[in-house]
Amino acid sequence: MRKANLLESLCYFQFLQDSEEEEAWLVETTRILKSTDTGKDLRAVISLMRKHEVRQKSLFEGTSVVTSPMLDLRSSKNTKSPTPMLGQHTV
């Protein structure tokens, strides 16, 4: 029981740290994508377009840092691990 509680606590604090990193990344990405800078010459325009495309692509691929730990917990529960999911307590 103690090991399960410690593991749940570890997962919770890891989730908090990951969600803070994700939020900072989203704020930076939003700033870049909302930029009205159109570039002064062709080279600047191409550079801005590449940055925009990379950020846009990364928004839609894979799972986020926040949802990934939750998926790991669910899969470990399905493999009969003694670790409870976050927010669930064994009675």
- Total of domains in the chain: 1
88 is a domain residue: no
In this structure, are residues 16 and 26 in contact, taking their beta carbons and an 8 Å threshold? no
In this model, does residue 45 exceed pLDDT 50?
yes
9 is a domain residue: yes
86 is a domain residue: no
16 is a domain residue: yes
**Is the pTM higher than 0.85?**
no
Domain, as residue range, for 41: 2-78
Higher pLDDT, 51 or 67: 51
85 is a domain residue: no
Q: What would the two tokens of residue 83 be?
A: 């670790």
pLDDT tens column, 11-38? 999 999 999 998 998 888 888 778 888 8
90 is a domain residue: no
